[in-house]
Amino acid sequence: MDAARWDRVRSLLERVLDVEPSARAAWIAQACGADQELRADIETLLASDSHTSTLEPPDAAGLARILADCGAGQRVGPYELVRRLGEGGMGAVFLGRRIGADFEQEVAVKLIKRGMDTDDVLRQFQRERALLSSLEHPCIARLLDGGATSDGRPWFAMERIEGEPIDVWCAARALSIRARIALFLQVCSAVQHAHQRLIVHRDLKPSNVLVTADGTPKLLDFGIAKLLVADDGRPRTVAVERRLTPDYASPEQLRGEPVSTATDVYSLGILLYELLAGVQPFRDAADPLAARETPSRPSKQARRLEPAGPSERRIGSRLHRDLDTIALTALEPRVDRRYASVDALAADLRRHLEHLPIQARPATTAYRLSKFVARNRVAVATGSIVITALAAGLIAARAGYLEALEQGERARLRELDAKREALRANSVLELTRRMLSAASPHDVRDKDYTLRRLLDDFDSEAGDWRGEPDVEASVRQTMGVAYLSLGLLEPATRQLSRVLELLPQDSGDVALEAQLAWCDLLHSRADYTGGVERLDSIVARDPAPALLAAALCARGDALRHLGRYDESERDLDRALGLARGLQLPGARLVCNILNELGMTLIELDRRTDGETRMRECIELSRSTFGPRSELVATALNNLGLSMQARGELADAAQTLGEAAEIERELHGADHAGLGQILNNLGLVRIRSGDYAAARPLLEEALRIARSNLGPEHPNVATDLSTLATAHERLGDFAQAEEAFRECLAIRSKALGEEHADTLRALNNLGNLLGRRAKYDEAAELLQRCIEVRRRVLGPDDLALAASLSNLSGVLLNCDQMAEAESAAREAVSIYRARLGPAHVDLAAGLSNLSSVLLRKGDAPGAIAMLRETLEMREKLLDASHPDVSRDMTNLGQTLVEHGELDEGQALLAESLRLHRERGNAPKPTLARTLHWHAVAEERREHAETAEVEYREALELWRGMLGVAHANTRRTAIALVGLLERRGDAQNAQALRTEFQLPPTAKE
Amino acid sequence: MTEQSPAAMTELLNRMAAGDADAGARLLPVLYGELHALAGREMGGLAAKVTLQPTELIHEAWMRLVGGAPQSFENRSHFVGVAARAMRSVLVDHVRRRQAQKRGVDWLRIELDEVVDLFAERAPNLLALDEALERLSKMDAQLGRMVELRFFAGMSVEETAKILGVSEPTVVRGWRIARMWLRRELEV
């Protein structure tokens, strides 16, 4: 109905209501006339006029009752209740204000439900009052007062806390597991504070743990439950009613048994479970007591919840077995199996955060050592990459050995005196234990120091392990391996050589174990020849299968480093066969062997086989040690590198990304291992031409390396070098130069002037300086590099070719044409000889040579070479690769310069399109492409397009190179010429001034 | 409850509109008093014992007002009219939410549930009423506001007349017609 018609209906209705009911029908008939619709409207509306209460306003008294029942406005003790804040099993909580107070004091007033035995509650309150008010902890809401209302309901006033329940807080912020644990630890400290005063909370649950805006958890209702529940566990209530939230109650509470601090430990376990898994373990259980017998693991629950959201997914994957164990230990149905105190629970959580072994788990040596390796990975990485790789395997191999000791391997016990063996095992384990519990993991260098000092102390202090040669040998061997894993080769050598002295050559496998450790040391010193020699003699002695497999694995690794790939493969194959049949050390050794074998096969260029082994290693690790272990990350990294070498860049990026993710989850975002993987990933991105994606990865890798290894470590130099390359490709030459210089400085100092890595840095810096038009310094650096490379690496080395190629570009810019050409030709001939007809490096060399030919005036020769380059690169690289578009620009520019306008402009346009498509394409080539495309446009008399493109190029050049650079000036001159030809003298003059061009400058 | 002069109230409203949270807090009881002055009179014995204070219901209505764009409150009547509109939307939203989700009980829900139940005795389908009222307001804005004030805010005829600036007989007649129309629409 529209408003006008309604107006009519309404006014008729108003009038008809004044008409006597008996006369209405006639009145309506007359008023509506022929409008039947209007008449029907009026009649039906009148029919719904009634005196029923429908649509009457609700009874105000009813509303008032609801409001009154919720207590607002009531006075309790000195407080007035303002409004209801919440509702619990025991009653409602109100915001209260102190009546007549000069200052606004807001409190939370808990008004207990009717039905409690008030006298009993109040008597208890009087008894506990002093104790409760002694609770002073930043995470505990203070109890202020208590009493009874005039109608006999008990009330308690507490410090008012504004916050969110802890579970809501965590979920809303998608807090990480670590952050959740940190928050939970604060809760633990508050509960422990109360326990020290013998106050048990008895009703810990998320709604009693509020987190304030500044992130502080606050525990509410401390001790209140005790006031409401009699000592026999039954509520102090007339009616039989369950007061406590059964979802969070301990089994003893559910059974109505006496409660103790262990009850709070249990409830904290449920809270922890819920924070970790995102779900309450016993919610809505039909039989709460039975459900508590078999709680499922939080990680399993978290995984089950995976579809629920990304935060759950992350949590599910991060839950470690440790956290499962901790939560389930707190949730032990039997009090005597639970953590004995909140402190014990908190301590284990802290140990977990610090990668220390937790107490709750039955400690096996393999487990402790796995934690040791995890915790010390940063330290391990302080050595070279080689040491890192070796140390992990080395520690793992020792794990089996120590496990055998710990379990008192029968055969050996028969051989040796049982008591002495026990002493040996105890001493070794004592040392292990100390190593594990020492050392804060927060600062790497500090940790090295601490752990090192611990080892040094153990070495110097008296101990009953001295005197018995083979016991002492075992202890020293453990110390030696530990030193080795820290990259401390000197003390490692001292210990291990002493071991060899202590053990007679014929003392069986024990001596061979020591020999094996010695070989690890030799490998750490890159003395693979010495290692192989010694390993030969170990293998010849035909030791027990476990030892033999470990020795063959070590020899296979060494042989690969020596380039003796066939022999390496043979050893590793044999080791694999042996290890697969073993109980101990089992899967870990098999995984190590598979990893080594994979790398050897890849070196043999049997990449498919190699990658198959890697995948097998990954699968076995996953099924044995869980989906995300160190071994998996290592193997994925190696697999990714192999894919990278095969040119499968997308697969490589994905695989390395997965490795990085695992690494991050295992060890956090600051771990050296992650840094290495990110560096590899950055390299893959660079190879894919995705420099913008590479740069943040490499910056992160560099940050990690610096913080772990200090600013002058060779690994830092590696990261700097890769990052500089990304800067360079993105056109950020100044940053690139800075990074290359720092890299060179580190390497010169750490590795010496003639080290291959130093020379590479020299070459890269020289090349970059050439691009920055610092030709003299560039030429000097490159010539120095070439001199050493030719002398050290020989005349046909590819690295030498690269430097020659770079030098030719620099010399070209110095107008030393003959030298430039000879350098470029030498480079191309090395490339052709070594790399065959199609290779990216050959393409680069050809591209360089073509520049020389152009400058010489040999345009047809140059164009032919540029065509060959472009074809080669189009075949080898993705169309979106920047090198392809650069070749297009090079060829297009040359063609335009030599009058082949059509083909030239088409190539430049295509290059421009590719540049624009990529978004953040390298700027120098873009600028050049713009310039030459503008040239072509200008020749076609498309002056406006040309001007726009010149200007864009000019801005790019100026940003990259400044106003004085030849490239900038060339574009500026071209633009000035265009403007002058168009008669725009004013703008032309402005440009001349801005770029300091002479009045009649010509190109 | 302290008596507030209209001038003091306008002052508070303006300060609240300017974002002064303290002013909002002090206004809350005043608002409540306005809305339920009549209720207080009719409560008889109960009223003597209970000093009414803002409920969470009103509080939420308030939050809606404050949470929206700053409005200029010229006088109490205007404000009460806005509050009535807010109460309506709070209740209707609550019914919708209650229909949409079954789990998750919190205290505000309990309280609002009770209030909704109270209204449901007089208008079994609050959502249908809301929609019908929307249609009515389009045809006849004055009747729409009248229903909001009378039904949702519990205003007396006298209060409603004052707020709308019309005579009491006009409210009586309009209210009767509005109910006729709504009953027909809702077939109750």
A644-693 pLDDT, tens digit per residue, is: 877 788 889 999 999 999 888 877 777 777 888 998 999 899 888 888 89
Residue A933: predicted pLDDT: 94
Residue A90: predicted pLDDT: 65
**CB interface of A with B, residues 72-111, below 8 Å:** 72-74, 81-87, 92
CB-nearest to A87 from B107, B115, B121 is B107
The mean per-residue pLDDT over the stretch A872-900 comes to 87
For the cut 90, the answer to whether the pLDDT of residue A949 exceeds it is yes
For the cut 60, the answer to whether the pLDDT of residue A751 exceeds it is yes
CB B126 within 8 A of CB B116: yes
Element (H, E) at A165: strand A163-165
Percentage with pLDDT > 70 across chain A? 78
Name the residue range of residue A330's domain: 163-353
Nearest CA in chain B to A1: B139
Residue B50: predicted pLDDT: 32
Distance from CA of A21 to the nearest CA of B (A): 16
C-alpha distance across the termini of chain A, in Å: 81
The mean per-residue pLDDT over the stretch B156-177 comes to 88
Residue A92: predicted pLDDT: 72
Q: Which of A328, A353, A378 is the last residue of a domain?
A: A353
Residue B79: predicted pLDDT: 58
Residue A423: predicted pLDDT: 55
Cβ separation of B59 and A83 shorter than 8 Å?
A: yes
Q: Based on the residue annotation, tell me whether A536 is a catalytic residue of this protein.
A: no
Cβ separation of B122 and A58 shorter than 8 Å?
A: yes
Lowest mean pLDDT among A530-534, A568-572, B22-26: B22-26
> Is residue A184 situated within a structural domain?
yes
Cβ separation of B50 and A64 shorter than 8 Å?
A: yes
Cβ separation of A13 and B115 shorter than 8 Å?
A: no
Angle at A539 between CA A533 and CA A541, to 5 degrees: 110
Neighbouring C-alpha atoms within 13 Å toward the C-beta of A53: 9
Task: Quickly state the pLDDT bin for B77 (edges 50, 70, 90).
Answer: low
Asked if residue A96 and residue A178 are part of one domain, the reply reads no
Nearest CA among A328, A327, A301, A323 for reference residue A312: A301
The whole-angstrom distance between residue A853's C-alpha and the CA centroid of its chain comes to 50
Cβ separation of B184 and A44 shorter than 8 Å?
A: yes
Residue-wise pLDDT for A796-828, tens only, equals: 888 899 899 999 989 988 888 899 999 999 999
* ipTM exceeding the 0.85 mark: no
Cβ separation of B180 and A10 shorter than 8 Å?
A: no
CB-nearest to A14 from B111, B177, B183 is B177
Task: List the CATH number of the domain containing A547.
Answer: 1.25.40.10
Task: Quickly state the pLDDT bin for A405 (edges 50, 70, 90).
Answer: very low
Residue A675: predicted pLDDT: 86
Element (H, E) at A164: strand A163-165
Asked if residue A546 and residue A398 are part of one domain, the reply reads no
Which backbone phi and psi does A247 adopt, to 5 degrees? -60, -30
Local structure of residue A303 (DSSP, 8 states): H
Asked if residue A503 and residue A533 are part of one domain, the reply reads no
Asked if residue A574 and residue A427 are part of one domain, the reply reads no
> Is residue A847 situated within a structural domain?
no
Residue A960: predicted pLDDT: 80
Which backbone phi and psi does A495 adopt, to 5 degrees? -65, -45
Output the CA torsion A557→A561→A565→A569 (10° steps).
0
Between A490 and A889, name the one with better pLDDT.
A889
> Is residue A648 situated within a structural domain?
yes
What is the rounded average pLDDT for all residues in chain A?
79
Between A583 and A291, name the one with better pLDDT.
A291
Residue-wise pLDDT for B88-98, tens only, equals: 766 676 677 66
> Is residue A810 situated within a structural domain?
no
Between A821 and A96, name the one with better pLDDT.
A821
CB-nearest to A86 from B39, B107, B119 is B107
Asked if residue A1003 and residue A901 are part of one domain, the reply reads yes
CB-nearest to B114 from A46, A53, A66 is A66
CB-nearest to B118 from A14, A54, A63 is A63
Residues 6+ apart with CB under 8 A from A996: A963, A964
Using left for φ > 0, alpha for ψ between -120 and 50, and beta otherwise, residue A571 falls in: alpha
Residue-wise pLDDT for A616-633, tens only, equals: 999 888 887 777 777 888
For the cut 70, the answer to whether the pLDDT of residue A210 exceeds it is yes
Residue A64: predicted pLDDT: 52
For the cut 70, the answer to whether the pLDDT of residue A435 exceeds it is no
Cβ separation of B43 and A60 shorter than 8 Å?
A: yes
Asked if residue A649 and residue A609 are part of one domain, the reply reads no
Nearest CA among A108, A180, A119, A183 for reference residue A144: A108
Q: Which of A102, A130, A159 is the last residue of a domain?
A: A159
Nearest CA in chain B to A63: B115
Asked if residue A246 and residue A303 are part of one domain, the reply reads yes
Asked if A178 reaches chain B (Cβ–Cβ under 8 Å), the answer is no
Residues 6+ apart with CB under 8 A from A682: A694, A695, A697, A698, A701, A722, A723, A726
For the cut 80, the answer to whether the pLDDT of residue B57 exceeds it is no
For the cut 70, the answer to whether the pLDDT of residue A430 exceeds it is no
Residue-wise pLDDT for A343-353, tens only, equals: 889 988 988 88
Q: d(Cα A672, Cα A663) in Å, to the nearest integer?
A: 10
CB B27 within 8 A of CB B9: yes
For the cut 70, the answer to whether the pLDDT of residue A72 exceeds it is no
Nearest CA among A464, A466, A462, A499 for reference residue A480: A499
SS3 A219: strand
> Is residue A632 situated within a structural domain?
yes
Neighbouring C-alpha atoms within 13 Å toward the C-beta of B59: 14
Residues 6+ apart with CB under 8 A from A614: A594, A595, A598, A635, A636, A638, A639, A642
Asked if A54 reaches chain B (Cβ–Cβ under 8 Å), the answer is yes
User: What is the total count of domains within chain A?
Assistant: 7
Cβ separation of A49 and B179 shorter than 8 Å?
A: yes
Tell me the chain B residues in contact with residue A49 when contact means C-beta distances shorter than 8 Å.
Answer: 176, 179-180, 183
In Å, how far are A247, B11, B64, B81, B175 from A304, measured between CA atoms? 20, 57, 39, 51, 57
Asked if residue A348 and residue A225 are part of one domain, the reply reads yes
Element (H, E) at A107: strand A106-112
Residue A773: predicted pLDDT: 85
Asked if residue A963 and residue A943 are part of one domain, the reply reads yes
Tell me the chain B residues in contact with residue A47 when contact means C-beta distances shorter than 8 Å.
Answer: 184
The mean per-residue pLDDT over the stretch A780-786 comes to 94
Cβ separation of A3 and B179 shorter than 8 Å?
A: no
Neighbouring C-alpha atoms within 13 Å toward the C-beta of A461: 11
Task: List the CATH number of the domain containing A115.
Answer: 3.30.200.20
Task: List the CATH number of the domain containing A274.
Answer: 1.10.510.10
Q: Which of A576, A608, A624 is the last residue of a domain?
A: A624
Residue A439: predicted pLDDT: 34
> Would you list the DSSP string of A804-849?
HHHHHHHHHHTT-HHHHHHHHHHHHHHHHHHH-S--HHHHHHHHHH
Asked if residue A457 and residue A575 are part of one domain, the reply reads no
Nearest CA in chain A to B114: A66
Asked if residue A1001 and residue A902 are part of one domain, the reply reads yes
Asked if residue A399 and residue A318 are part of one domain, the reply reads no
> Is residue A980 situated within a structural domain?
yes
Lowest mean pLDDT among A355-359, A527-531, A786-790, B19-23: B19-23
> Is residue A376 situated within a structural domain?
yes
Q: d(Cα A135, Cα A306) in Å, to the nearest integer?
A: 40
Asked if A15 reaches chain B (Cβ–Cβ under 8 Å), the answer is no
Residue A392: predicted pLDDT: 31
SS3 A243: coil
Nearest CA in chain B to A6: B139
Residue A59: predicted pLDDT: 63
> Is residue A574 situated within a structural domain?
yes
Length of chain A: 1003
CB A494 within 8 A of CB A478: no
Nearest CA among A212, A196, A195 for reference residue A204: A195
Nearest CA among A773, A841, A856 for reference residue A804: A841
For the cut 90, the answer to whether the pLDDT of residue A555 exceeds it is yes
Residue-wise pLDDT for A293-338, tens only, equals: 777 777 777 665 543 333 444 444 444 677 888 888 899 888 877 8
> Would you list the DSSP string of A571-607?
HHHHHHHHHHT-SSSTHHHHHHHHHHHHHHHHHTT-H
CB-nearest to A68 from B50, B123, B173 is B50
For the cut 50, the answer to whether the pLDDT of residue B35 exceeds it is no
Length of chain B: 188
Nearest CA in chain A to B120: A58
Lowest mean pLDDT among A212-221, A971-980, B149-158: B149-158
Cβ separation of A67 and B38 shorter than 8 Å?
A: no
Residue A245: predicted pLDDT: 58
Task: Quickly state the pLDDT bin for A191 (edges 50, 70, 90).
Answer: very high
Q: d(Cα A603, Cα A560) in Å, to the nearest integer?
A: 8
